[in-house]
Amino acid sequence: MPALADRLKEFSISASVVMTVKARELAAQGIKVISLASGEPDFASPPHAVEAAHKAALAGDTKYPPQDGTKELKQAIQRKFKRDNKLDYALDEIIVTNGGKQAIFNAFMASVNPGEEIVIPAPYWISYADMAKVAGGKPVLVSCPQNNGFKLRAEDLEAAITPNTKWVMLNFPNNPTGAACSREEMQAIAEVLLRHPHVWVMTDDMYEHLVYDGFEFCTIAEVEPRLKDRTLTVNGASKTYAMTGWRVGFAGGPKALIKGMINIQGQATSGVSTIGQAAAAAALDGPQDLVRERAAIYRERRDLVVDMLNQAPGLACHKPEGAFYVFPNVAGCLGKTSAGGRRIETDGDFALALLEEKYVATVQGSAYGMSPYIRISYATDTASLREACARIQEFCRDLR
């Protein structure tokens, strides 16, 4: 058999996918597994978005779409950026992509030369570093420890930037920690970036509407307009509107960069599903009450999970500002042995033993660039969360 490409050696299958698959395999054996491994809302897509897709299909809107997105959706995105972020983008400064993930991939592929550096605050969403590698770039990880609320400090960012830096990646509210930066914290980051005009800035704002306790979201180009001409603002319908399967993401940025991203997309996938775009336009332009109602439910879930995890011996769980994840520290459980006889030396050991003995799927923090932690998604129903946390408490109590 001919050999596969060497680039495949640079990265592996997403750890969250691996744990989700393991959970499904156990479930297929008739075991009641509770999966907290996947970052997918358990809510239904908005009814008016589904209806818009249905109408588009019945109307024959089923032909090849424009590579950069339909005019109707791009105009809706334009209004969204103005309404939510106070950002003005022309239509040729907007691209529609197959999920927010493709926007990031397109940007790296359109801009990164071999060996150029992408600064990524850690913990980080698994795909950032791997996509940077696929594009020929070099991920540079900047630790954002729990004692700083898992947030990026300006001085740490300053120390990470070099003449070879191409991008700085921002993701607040963050996956996997839920941490979010205040306007003052974002301004401090912006001041660093202003001193390095050779650096592009990418902000993944997928969780912007999932913030709690009166926290106010802000995005970097809004906070510091002088950065707008080298900032790519990435977002999508997946998390805000529970539309993960529709695969509609989008980004606003400088015209030349967007043009390059469209070129990359044209060679990879072409445009996004026409009916998916119709649904996304309806979601963006439609009533937003559902978003606020669901954010309130997520906040209640967060409080439940944080409280129950902090009652588990050996765990310490920080209460985050947003998203639908918590990132508890499992250091107090290391060096012990589970009831099933498994030695817990790492966060990976903890996550695997928890799945195989208590049938709760989580993801080890090492996959996100920081140990010893696990990521827990609370984007599932409250009853399941309560049961899962009770199982985690029992697992921790049984460690010896």
Domain ranges of the chain: 6-44+290-397, 47-285
Percent of the chain with pLDDT over 90: 92
pLDDT band at 238 (very low <50, low <70, confident <90, very high): very high
Q: Please give the average per-residue pLDDT across 376-398, as a whole number.
A: 98
Percent of the chain with pLDDT over 70: 100
pLDDT surpassing 90 at residue 26? no
pLDDT surpassing 90 at residue 14? no
Best CA proximity match to 315, nearest among 380, 374, 383: 374
pLDDT surpassing 90 at residue 382? yes
Q: Please give the average per-residue pLDDT across 142-164, as a whole number.
A: 98
Q: Please give the average per-residue pLDDT across 95-111, as a whole number.
A: 98
- Who's near 118: CB < 8 A, 6+ residues apart? 108, 112, 128, 129, 132, 137, 138, 139, 140, 165, 166, 167, 168, 169
Best CA proximity match to 330, nearest among 376, 380, 387, 378: 376
At 296-343, the pLDDT tens digits run 999 999 999 999 999 999 999 999 999 999 999 999 999 999 999 999
Whole-model pTM: value is 0.95
Q: Which letter, b or e, does each residue of 113-124 get, where b requires 16 or more Cβ atoms within 10 Å of its Cβ? A: eeebbbbbbbbb
pLDDT band at 18 (very low <50, low <70, confident <90, very high): confident
pLDDT surpassing 90 at residue 152? yes
What pLDDT shows up at residue 166? 98
What secondary structure, in 3-state letters, does 35-65 show?
ECCCCCCCCCCCHHHHHHHHHHHHCCCCCCC
At 174-230, the pLDDT tens digits run 999 999 999 999 999 999 999 999 999 999 999 999 999 999 999 999 999 999 999
What pLDDT shows up at residue 197? 98
What pLDDT shows up at residue 354? 97
Q: Please give the average per-residue pLDDT across 100-125, as a whole number.
A: 98
What pLDDT shows up at residue 282? 98
At 242-297, the pLDDT tens digits run 999 999 999 999 999 999 999 999 999 999 999 999 999 999 999 999 999 999 99
What pLDDT shows up at residue 239? 97
CATH topology assigned to domain 47-285: Aspartate Aminotransferase; domain 2 (3.40.640)
pLDDT band at 145 (very low <50, low <70, confident <90, very high): very high
What pLDDT shows up at residue 188? 98
Q: Residue 166: which H helix or E strand, with range?
A: strand 165-170
What pLDDT shows up at residue 311? 98
Helix 99-111 × helix 255-268 angle, to 10°? 110
- Kindly indicate whether the domain formed by 6-44+290-397 is annotated with CATH number 3.90.1150.10: yes
